[in-house]
A and B are shown apart, each in its own frame.
Chain A
Amino acid sequence: MMTTASVSAAAPAPATGRTPLVEMRNISVSFGGVRAVDDVTIDLFPGEVVGLLGHNGAGKSTLIKVLSGAYHADSGEIWIEGNKVTIANARDALHNRIETIYQNLALADNLDACANLFLGREELLGSGLLDESKMEDATRKVMGRLNPNFKKFHAPVAALSGGQRQSVAIARTVHFNARILIMDEPTAALGVAETKVIHDLIRQLKKEGIGIFLISHDIHDVFDLADRVTVMKNGKLVGTVRTQDVTQDEVLGMIILGKMPEAKTAA
């Protein structure tokens, strides 16, 4: 069972009966009278990248913030590896090894890379004080793997480039052994070369069996990386398709029209 799972990981096939890494079933979220997310069901398998597409306000960020513990769903269930879980806050999400990388709000700009990497999960000495050396050591090791040129371990992350900041955020995922990674517009603020670095990192994480939800405006980005795309419009699920089965124009049609393309069935 498991061996077939890892072999077929690159081309996910929910029909085979494998257990998804994450299933969000019938999730609804309302703000006041507005249904930001309306009865949406999505899933994610190990080693898979699922792109979440849609206009601003389509509800994709809201949906994913339910998974990262920032918002509460009014109804619906979250299943992780076949077990129903409750995610009431960010701590619960981290507990389930769900990490989130936001475009710009995940780092405390005034703290250095090491402090950010361990934020909320600091290593302590017997005396209860921070074990700075242990944390710096781990930071140097992870960053050495992800971004060997990185040297500014003691500078506040405000002084780092966009790509360096994202690699610090990604280092959290790697160090804490996440199995589910949520990336919200990870390359929106980056230049071409830095975007490529992040794309390579995503492929590397995928190879290690991590499941990734990738939220993006950029349909090229998504086609480059994702195995499947899920499209949302006005809080509702339009559909999920395999990127190998559709063209970019067809997906654009889903985003704009909110309809599945002709003769395609949901993946």
Chain B
Amino acid sequence: MGAIGRLVARLEVDPRLFGMIGALIIIWVGFDIASDGLFLTPRNLYNLSLQTAEVAIMAIGMVMVIVTRQIDLSVGSVLGVLAMLMAVMQSRMLPDHIFPYESPWIWPVTVGFGIVCGIVVGAFNGYLIGYLGIPAFVVTLGGLLVWRGAAWWVTTGQTVSPLDERFELLGGGVQGTIGGTASWIAGAIGIAALVFSALRARVKRAAYGFPVRPIWAESIVVGIQCLVLLAFVTVMNAYEMPELAAERLAQARGLPIPEGGIHIAEGIPIPVLIVLGAAAIFSVLLLRSRFGRYVYAIGGNPEAANLAGIDNRRMIFWVFVAMGFLTAISAVVASARLQSADNAIGTGDELRVIAAAVIGGTSLMGGIGTISGAILGAVVIQSLQSGMTLLGADSSIQNIATGIVLVLAVYLDSVYQRRRRI
């Protein structure tokens, strides 16, 4: 512990992030051994990344909600009603009344409509909680029931299927990826951005004469980030489109099918790209903007924030608006992946999302939590579920294991916090 502890301190990385990555590696390797090498395959990791997206997107918003000492129990139900509204919009309202069937305008209008509805629901929650002062637990517990009921009313319980073809690409099905070449380019852009921002921060700190971390430590941190990104792109590109689908695609584009079958790399699925994009934007907002600074300040000490001239009620309102926006995005991904929507979609998501945030180091006492941690937490939860499914454990066992891991993670975190204070 001593040597590793000192290394972590020198690298100036949050030790909890370190611990979480370690736990994830143990889970992955453990499942891989237990499943005779089925877990760490491109196919499984590709599916894992897809399944994580729905929870990860909402976990970004949940971090902000919990950091401001609030909670949102309604996200699963709100996701349900938004998915139903968008399903009806794209498969009935728009084709029947406005655009011709299969028009390329259907998906953007549907997504825009869903986002507006999500923001309206979030603003409504934010108003009740921030301005009327009703506890978030109560408002969103009510919302859990209200919006699930509303999801049923949209079609009086009928399942809506199929959805618009282009809309379904947003769920990351067989063709819902950006392909091999674009994935390499995206990876290269990501690496360039990581290196550039690290260099820029370093140069700026040096210009002011602030202490900077040693160059070797900086190189290790940035190097590991780049390697993870590179490994991710490599794995996504190693997963090939199923042969039949690839042949169909080749025929549709008039390409010849070579000897020995056709190999098309899947690349990064669109939902994962959405997660990464949303995480990047909201991380900047949370860590580099006034808004984020106030979110943390309110969570750390609401009274001090108020005395510093911060309008706590307004901040809480906007945090819930952001949560509504992200729930809408998640509703797009979830329904597009299922290629249908019914009134049960998103059931239980609120608990998975809260668990992801908490496993990722977000403190329910407020003031502490990061987006990257929450996304890692989402990956941990999904890895457990996916791994156990692979081993043939049924859902009752999965629930038991996930619950135990949640409690264990929070316990370990509190032990760490106590030791750090002494």
Contact = CB atoms under 8 A, between A and B. Distances in A.
Interface string A170-181: 000000000000
A266 interface: no
B303 interface: yes
B289 interface: yes
A109 B301 contact: yes
B284 A130 contact: no
Interface in A148-162: 158-159
Nearest to B298: A108
Nearest to B204: A133
Contact of A130 (B293, B309, B310): B293
A115 B293 contact: yes
B210 A68 contact: no
Given A108-B300, A111-B297, A89 B309 contact: yes
A109 B290 contact: no
Nearest to A95: B309
Interface in B239-264: none
Interface residues of A, number: 32
Contact of B210 (A91, A124, A130, A133): A133
Given A130-B290, A133-B205, A105 B309 contact: no
B309 A108 contact: no
Given A89-B309, A109-B300, A130 B288 contact: yes
A194 interface: no
Contacts of A115: 293, 296-297
Given A109-B367, A122-B293, A130-B290, A137 B208 contact: yes
Nearest to A132: B288
Contact of A105 (B297, B304, B368): B304
A106 interface: yes
A112 to B, nearest CB: 10
Nearest to A65: B307
Interface majority SS (helix, strand, loop, mixed), chain A: loop
A133 B301 CA distance: 24
Interface string A101-145: 010011111110001000111101000111011001100100000
A110 B368 contact: yes
B271 interface: no
A133 B211 CA distance: 12
Nearest to B306: A90
B200 to A, nearest CB: 11
B305 interface: yes
Interface in B401-422: 420-421
For chain B, which range describes its interface: under 10, 10 to 19, 20 to 34, or 35 or more residues? Answer: 20 to 34
Given A89-B309, A115-B297, A122 B304 contact: no
Contacts of B210: 133, 136-137, 140
A124 B288 CA distance: 10
Contacts of B296: 108, 110-111, 115
B367 A90 contact: no
B308 interface: yes
B208 A108 contact: no
Contact of A110 (B284, B306, B367): B367
B299 interface: yes
Contacts of A137: 208, 210
Given A108-B300, A110-B300, A110-B367, A119 B288 contact: no
A89 B311 CA distance: 10
Given A129-B289, A133-B210, A136-B210, A119 B367 contact: no
Given A108-B297, A109-B300, A128-B289, A119 B368 contact: no
A111 B284 CA distance: 17
Contacts of A120: 305, 308-310
Interface in B277-330: 284, 288-290, 293, 296-297, 299-301, 303-310
B419 to A, nearest CB: 13
Contacts of B368: 110
A137 B206 CA distance: 11
Nearest to B289: A129
Contacts of A109: 300-301, 367
A107 B310 CA distance: 13
A70 B307 contact: yes
Contact of A119 (B205, B284, B303, B305): B305
A94 interface: yes
A106 B301 CA distance: 8
A108 B305 CA distance: 7
Contacts of B421: 158-159
Given A122-B293, A129-B288, 6 more contacts: A68-B307, A70-B306, A70-B307, A90-B306, A108-B301, A108-B367
Interface of A: 68-70, 89-91, 94, 100, 102, 105-111, 115, 119-122, 124, 128-130, 132-133, 136-137, 140, 158-159
19 contacts: A70-B306, A90-B308, A94-B308, A94-B309, A105-B301, A106-B304, A108-B301, A108-B304, A110-B296, A110-B367, A111-B300, A119-B293, A119-B310, A120-B310, A122-B293, A128-B289, A129-B288, A130-B289, A133-B207
